[in-house]
């Protein structure tokens, strides 16, 4: 049985995927690498349900947060905050000098379309940003409905979505829903080592970027696109990770994107039902629960450190809460390579330990 970490990133990486990184280096500006670069990006479009370009960026997900605000707003941003990772995006936006309005709800709550509508009616903004799956609380925001509200109330406003801990384990239809920028990073649901972000950018977003001042250089969508059209990047890309991405996308497409999403949905349902039956309260309200991790309020009598000692010999590890929720919640991540049998092993160990 493989070792399994039920933690929301970096997740376990399959041995063959790790091996794919060990391919010898080659010049990055030659046909052989350009071919690999292009097909890795092309294959990954299926995860985004988009016909738009996917930029492969040599940075983690936070870099894609930074790129979005730098490229899509000269000034005004509405930043939806319902946990630590969406709060990071708010801070990133402020740090980049954008005039950023925070729309914040208590930890465990979701951002609703009505809240976004009210905010947009009060103040016109160039860009709305939100985390689809808030990894610190296990809340999934209703991004589809929020996109509809933005299109109705403020059609010129762009919409950027962080799906760092959900893309590939949940269905987010970029084109059909009307999302302008959608991104993930490699070390969570995609089950790759950390260090890459995949960022889909539609034509409207690219056009807006052309008119935005001070986009910087490293994260400039316009420059990245210019090079992408030549199957390349402005800078030296993280080639070993791209070898791994190319290989992992074949594995993902072999399972099937829909089947992969269904696997995650089934595990989420199982984890939710198990914890509810046990009498352990979930942090996220019904209807807003993540498909890739289940966040449980820490039961009084449960000692996570002791439990991790208990399951270590069985090759498992469970995650603590994050940020303000550390020691107040446990996070059961069921993403990436984890399958139902793994989750059942963890739940039965939980049952044994916490009778
Ligand atoms: C992990 C995470 C991030 C940060 O991504 P890095 O790849 O660590 O920079 C951002 N947003 C969400 C929702 C995350 O889960």
pLDDT tens for each residue of 157-194: 999 999 999 999 999 999 999 999 999 999 999 999 99
Which atom in ligand 1 lies closest to the alpha carbon of residue 60? 7
Each residue of 305-335: pLDDT tens digit?
999 999 999 999 999 999 999 999 999 999 9
pLDDT-derived band at 254, boundaries 50, 70, 90? very high
Which one of 212, 238, 254 terminates a domain? 254
- Best residue among 135, 295, 333 to mutate for probing ligand 1's pocket (most ligand atoms within 8 Å of CB) is 135
138 lines ligand 1 (CB under 6 A): no
60 lines ligand 1 (CB under 6 A): yes
Mean pLDDT of the chain: 97
In angstroms, rounded to a whole number, what is the distance separating the alpha carbons of residues 255 and 54? Answer: 21
What is the 3-state secondary structure of 154-168? CCCCEEEEECCCCEC
Claim to verify: residue 162 and residue 203 sit in the same structural domain: yes
Which residues make Cβ contacts (< 8 Å) with residue 160, sequence separation at least 6?
Answer: 68, 69, 72, 127, 128, 129, 130, 179, 180, 181, 182, 183, 205
Q: Is 82 in the pocket of ligand 1 (CB under 6 A)?
A: no
Per-residue confidence (pLDDT) for residue 301, from 0 to 100: 84
Distance CA 221, CA 199 (A): 10
pLDDT in tens, 214-249: 999 999 999 999 999 999 999 999 999 999 999 999
Q: How many CB atoms lie within 10 A of CB 240?
A: 15
Band of pLDDT at residue 344, cut at 50, 70 and 90: very high
Note down the domain range covering 213.
15-254
DSSP conformation letters of 174-231: HHHHT-SEEEEETTSTT---SS-EEEEE-HHHHHHHHT-S---STT-HHHHHHHHTTT
Question: With the C-alpha atoms ordered 151, 74, 230, 21, is the resulting torsion angle positive or negative?
Answer: negative
The per-residue pLDDT for 1 is 79
Say which CATH number the domain at 104 has.
3.40.640.10
What pLDDT is attached to residue 321?
A: 96
Ligand 1 pocket member 33 (CB < 6 A)? no
| Number of domains present in the structure of the chain | 2
Q: Which atom of ligand 1 is nearest to the CA of 163?
A: 13
Best mutation site among 11, 56, 62 for ligand 1, i.e. most ligand atoms within 8 A of its Cβ? 62
Do 177 and 288 lie in a common domain? no
* Distance of alpha carbon 257 from alpha carbon 253, whole angstroms: 6
Asked whether residue 105 falls in the same domain as residue 224, the answer is yes
164 lines ligand 1 (CB under 6 A): yes
Residues 321 and 215 in one domain: no
> For 51-108, what is each residue's pLDDT tens digit?
999 999 999 999 999 999 999 999 999 999 999 999 999 999 999 999 999 999 999 9
CB atoms closer than 10 angstroms to residue 99: 14
Question: Tokens 């729309």 map to which residue?
Answer: 103
Tokens of 61: 């997900």
Q: 223 and 92 in one domain?
A: yes
Ligand 1: residue whose CA is nearest its atom 2: 164
Give the atom of ligand 1 at the shortest distance from the alpha carbon of 62. Answer: 9
Phi-psi region of 220 (alpha: psi -120 to 50; beta: other; left: phi over 0): beta
User: In the beta sheet, which residues pair with residue 318?
Assistant: 6
The pLDDT of residue 300 is above 90: no
* Structure confidence at residue 119 (pLDDT): 98
Tokens of 170: 């949940």
Predicted model pTM? 0.98
User: Is 248 in the same domain as 267?
Assistant: no
Position 154 confidence tier, pLDDT thresholds 50, 70, 90: very high
C-alpha 85 to ligand 1 mean position (Å): 6
> How close is the Cα of 203 to the center of ligand 1, in Å?
25
Write the CATH number for 312: 3.90.1150.10
- Mean pLDDT for 140-166 is 98
Regarding the beta carbon of 62 and ligand 1, being less than 6 Å apart is answered yes
Residues 106-126, mean pLDDT to the nearest whole number: 98
300 CB neighbour count, 10 Å cutoff: 5
Residue 259 neighbours by CB distance under 10 Å: 11
Q: How far apart are CA 7 and CA 194, in angstroms?
A: 14
10 Å Cβ neighbour count for 231?
16
Mark which of 234, 254, 274 sits at the end of a domain.
254
Residues 187 and 311 in one domain: no
Q: Which two tokens stand for residue 133?
A: 């799956």
Question: Is the CB of residue 322 below 6 angstroms from any atom belonging to ligand 1?
Answer: no
Give the domain-ending residue among 226, 254, 282.
254
15 CB contacts (<8 Å, ≥6 apart)? none
Q: Which atom of ligand 1 is nearest to the CA of 194?
A: 7
Q: How far is the CA of 88 from the centre of ligand 1 (A)?
A: 9
304 and 273 in a common domain: yes
9 within ligand 1 shell (Cβ under 6 A):
yes
SS3 assignment, position 303 = coil
């Amino acid at each position: 049985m493989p070792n399994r970490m039920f933690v929301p990133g970096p997740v376990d990486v399959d041995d063959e995927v790790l091996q794919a990184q060990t391919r010898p280096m080659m010049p990055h500006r030659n046909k052989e690498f350009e071919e690999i670069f292009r097909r890795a990006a092309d294959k990954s479009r299926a995860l985004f349900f988009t016909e738009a370009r996917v930029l492969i960026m040599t940075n983690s997900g936070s870099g894609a947060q930074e790129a979005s605000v730098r490229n899509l707003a000269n000034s005004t941003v509405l930043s939806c905050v319902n946990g630590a990772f969406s709060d990071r995006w708010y801070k990133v936006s402020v740090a980049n000098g954008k005039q950023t309005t925070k729309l914040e709800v208590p930890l465990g709550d979701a951002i609703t379309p009505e809240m976004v509508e009210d905010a947009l009616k009060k103040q016109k903004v160039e860009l709305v940003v939100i985390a689809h799956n808030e990894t610190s609380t296990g809340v999934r925001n209703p991004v589809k409905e929020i996109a509809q509200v933005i299109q109705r109330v403020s059609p010129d406003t762009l919409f950027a979505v962080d799906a760092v801990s959900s893309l590939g384990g949940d269905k987010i239809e970029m084109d059909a829903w009307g999302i302008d920028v959608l991104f993930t990073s490699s070390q969570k649901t995609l089950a790759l080592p950390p260090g890459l972000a995949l960022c889909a950018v539609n034509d409207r977003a690219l056009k807006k970027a052309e008119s935005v001042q001070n986009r910087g250089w490293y994260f400039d969508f316009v420059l990245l696109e210019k090079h992408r059209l030549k199957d390349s990047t402005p800078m030296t890309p993280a080639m070993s990770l791209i070898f791994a991405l190319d290989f992992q996308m074949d594995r993902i497409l072999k399972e099937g994107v829909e089947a992969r999403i269904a696997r995650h949905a089934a595990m989420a349902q199982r984890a939710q039902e198990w914890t509810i039956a046990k009498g352990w309260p979930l942090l996220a309200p019904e209807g807003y629960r993540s498909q890739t991790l289940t966040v449980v309020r820490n039961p009084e009598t449960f000692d996570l450190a002791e439990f991790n000692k208990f399951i270590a010999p069985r090759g498992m590890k469970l995650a603590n809460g994050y940020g303000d929720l550390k020691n107040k919640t446990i996070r059961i991540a069921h993403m990436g390579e984890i399958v139902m049998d793994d989750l059942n092993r963890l739940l039965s160990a939980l049952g044994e330990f916490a009778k």
